[in-house]
Structure 1
């Protein structure tokens, strides 16, 4: 398929990838283009801002979570009907799993045969920018560096010095963004505050980013670079389809406290025959009518512990819910007895609390038991991303998921609950298993 595409990368985290990528999406959309937004890696927060900028779901591309062979099909699925695709990278361009570049931005750029724009933080340097960019341009000849966007430029003179140095190095400068506190996005313990928690401010902020990129970057040159990407062979990903089941209603937690999820999960559930309904545990006092299965994804329940605890009617209903439950990370905390001393649903015999320690990383896990989503002995690729802990901690020998150096999770015929985040497009049969569990006689009585 011919899909103009560009990857926005950087030498390291904090250089301004999200600013440039989100602003570019918004600027191109303002030009009347249908923009397909993508994010390398397991990030849940940046895609929320991408969705505001592009007006369509932000989607993740992660060779670790879904398998290398699914990256192009998932990209083609998400980009269908788009005029251009903008892919924001993760960390530094070549940072991958361990010492390899597996699941790195460079890895995804190679799989997509997409040109890369490198966002460089130009503060506190001038001519050295050329040496830095030269290294990234020549490190892996399989990755095509199409140009640079300078970020945090201090003055006209500073910009002139950086541009001159890069011209001598033969690397095009496609934009230069001045330092601008007006485009600041607030952060907290796991990164940016999700767009869903500050929607009005986020919409205004994305609009400002679009204007900043439009006046600071050569949009025509960026579009031309994206159009230079070759034909991308492959077949778009399609969720396995089944006849609609009028009795299958899957409630998916949403709202400000539960913002972590992949667009493909709902698509898989709908294709498997279910009706998907969103429930906001901060506001809704009951599950949607006819709910037969419940999905509690991740998010920031720790930031809303008082409000979640105050919604006692829903907590009681979740505690007594007879159908299958799939919970990960934030959902696990909500199912416990307490979260930072506030009563939660009490479905699991654990108490959760905030800690100062960040647990972050990919996990190659093995399921130790059958559960709502797993079968004994199956292997799963997932990731952890949290600053909370549960007590008593799970003994790896008794945990639902086990991996080198650890384990985590609770399982049962109608339950999968753990800190492990999964991408269901990389875990075949997950949605179907959840629905199959909901059709058992004990559930539909």
Structure 2
């Protein structure tokens, strides 16, 4: 049976979804419910607040990055053992990936798409400022725009007065939508933000916990939790996501990767997406690629393979399965962007996962692979630079062939300098904070073999940064994709056993890449083990 869920959506960004969703998670937990928190899309920051409120990791549901076929399995995996789930949407209810060729009213990656996949009701959070009786027309439009979406109720946010609330409740009644609660205007609840949105909960420390408690108090006082719990429902059917099953399926599916795309008889290394197949760059995968969710590669058909992953892993990589290569993951305030499934996949592949803080710690003993995820190193550049011993060690190990997977913040950390502060110097580049935000999904092609990808493999990723860097040319670019104007963009760097890029990928959509990385770490541990 699927865990009942509610989806918290809004007509537009900035309506207060995060406040309502986080407060609702906390209030339901306080009332005795075991709540599974989710966020639609690639956002790393909101799940941190969700996790504080729920007392369990916040997770993402992003069909663009992981493939539509994995959304329900990931939901079932992340909500196992819970009474209900709260899913915070992204942007407006029907906003998703922009595609001029898309004619379906439900955009890919939208909150509406996730609600339809889960069969869960939508609670619409409306910023009440400036609204009066005309709210009825807006709600009527959202309720009838697509018959596959069930609008279960409304939460009025930032209500100005009792009279204002009465008028808005009457407008909701005109279209038959129940009001589940009305929140007064409380600007003091605003969580501090900066250039990429909210400050991550890890960085905000005790203030983040205090903000979560305040959101919980607000929701508990003004929203009918009983009605919300009674409204929760889900018709999502299928197998639960399992990292071991995914890794076996990836190995049996030739080991290619990228949002569930598996090479089917193509010589990917000889065709990196240019020439005859160049039109596919930045667009849909060509016919020689098929989704894992189809035919014999489906999650359901591989469910029975989980029991065989141990023997299979030992056959492919004895050290990884038996001894466990140490894979270190950078954490702490400077490296806060990561998906929970990443650690789960690394562990399932046989790695010993160790988290460390580059601001003040050394690499864990025996590190044989290094993951440098996204985050805000530009906010902590001086402290990162002060840990000179770590920077020197990483540079030396990179030169010896240590497998390194660096995304966004990790890329910046590997450059020579960041805003004038010394970094590891693995990549011959300098980084600086820039004037423009770079944001959006990318359909990328790997240009070079690396510990994670094979040249020619297609991957869906997401860019989200306001820094920029110069690479004089000592490293080969990691990715290429086409911009909306048709320009070919080459990005990132690969050298030695390092793959560094601004592109964020979701490991659940690319299990073969994780398997390869752990295998490379095992090789490094084997060849560099003390005599």
Please give the range of the TM-score, normalised by the shorter of the 2 chains: over 0.9
Q: Which residue of 416, 422, 432 corresponds with 1:337? A: 416
Q: Which residue of 505, 508, 514 corresponds with 1:425? A: 508
Superposition TM-score, scaled by structure 1 size: 0.96
Structure 1 residues 431-440 or 339-348, which shifts more? 431-440
Aligned Cα root-mean-square deviation (Å): 1.5
Does the CA-based 8 Å contact 1:16-1:121 persist in structure 2? yes
Aligned pair 1:235/2:222, yes or no?
Answer: no
Does the CA-based 8 Å contact 1:413-1:437 persist in structure 2? no
- Taking a change above 3 Å as real, the CA distance of residues 74 and 380 of structure 1, as seen in their structure-2 partners, is same
Match in the other structure for 2:450: 371
Aligned pair 1:314/2:390, yes or no?
Answer: yes
- Taking a change above 3 Å as real, the CA distance of residues 325 and 245 of structure 1, as seen in their structure-2 partners, is farther
Does the CA-based 8 Å contact 2:439-2:462 persist in structure 1? yes
Q: Which residue of 118, 124, 127 corresponds with 1:121? A: 127
Match in the other structure for 1:39: 39
Q: Matches of residues 209-358 of structure 1 in structure 2 within 5 Å? A: 209-226=215-232, 229-240=233-244, 241-242=309-310, 244-284=321-361, 286-321=362-397, 322=400, 323-358=402-437
Does the CA-based 8 Å contact 1:394-1:407 persist in structure 2? no
- Taking a change above 3 Å as real, the CA distance of residues 373 and 413 of structure 1, as seen in their structure-2 partners, is farther
Shift of 1:283: 1.1
Match in the other structure for 1:131: 137
CA distance in 1, matches of 2:115, 2:43: 17
How many equivalent pairs are there? 441
User: What SS class does the counterpart of residue 375 from structure 2 fall into?
Assistant: coil
Shift of 1:169: 1.6
Match in the other structure for 1:79: 79
User: What SS class does the counterpart of residue 429 from structure 1 fall into?
Assistant: helix
Structure 2 alignment gaps of length 5 or more: 245-308, 315-320, 484-488
Q: Deviations over 1:153-179 (max 9, x none)?
A: 000000000001111121111111000
Superposition TM-score, scaled by structure 2 size: 0.81
- Taking a change above 3 Å as real, the CA distance of residues 325 and 131 of structure 1, as seen in their structure-2 partners, is same
- Taking a change above 3 Å as real, the CA distance of residues 245 and 351 of structure 1, as seen in their structure-2 partners, is farther
Structure 1 residues 189-198 or 313-322, which shifts more? 313-322
User: What SS class does the counterpart of residue 380 from structure 2 fall into?
Assistant: helix
User: What SS class does the counterpart of residue 295 from structure 1 fall into?
Assistant: strand
Shift of 1:444: 4.2
Match in the other structure for 2:14: 14
Aligned pair 1:95/2:99, yes or no?
Answer: no
Does the CA-based 8 Å contact 1:370-1:412 persist in structure 2? no
CA distance in 1, matches of 2:387, 2:40: 36
Q: Deviations over 1:353-378 (max 9, x none)?
A: 00110000000001111101101111
Does the CA-based 8 Å contact 2:476-2:495 persist in structure 1? no
CA distance in 2, matches of 1:52, 1:200: 11
CA distance in 2, matches of 1:138, 1:168: 14
Match in the other structure for 1:164: 170
- Taking a change above 3 Å as real, the CA distance of residues 128 and 403 of structure 1, as seen in their structure-2 partners, is same
User: What SS class does the counterpart of residue 292 from structure 1 fall into?
Assistant: strand
Q: Deviations over 1:219-273 (max 9, x none)?
A: 11111110xx244211000002546442411100000000000000000011111
CA distance in 2, matches of 1:57, 1:128: 39
CA distance in 2, matches of 1:63, 1:393: 36
Does the CA-based 8 Å contact 1:77-1:237 persist in structure 2? yes
Q: Deviations over 1:54-79 (max 9, x none)?
A: 00000000000000000000000000
User: What SS class does the counterpart of residue 29 from structure 1 fall into?
Assistant: helix
Shift of 1:217: 0.7
CA distance in 2, matches of 1:403, 1:394: 19
User: What SS class does the counterpart of residue 407 from structure 1 fall into?
Assistant: strand
Structure 1 residues 96-105 or 248-257, which shifts more? 96-105
- Taking a change above 3 Å as real, the CA distance of residues 443 and 370 of structure 1, as seen in their structure-2 partners, is farther
Does the CA-based 8 Å contact 2:441-2:462 persist in structure 1? yes
Structure 1 alignment gaps of length 5 or more: none
Q: Matches of residues 394-433 of structure 1 in structure 2 within 5 Å? A: 398-405=476-483, 406-412=489-495, 414-433=497-516
User: What SS class does the counterpart of residue 422 from structure 1 fall into?
Assistant: coil
Does the CA-based 8 Å contact 2:117-2:236 persist in structure 1? no
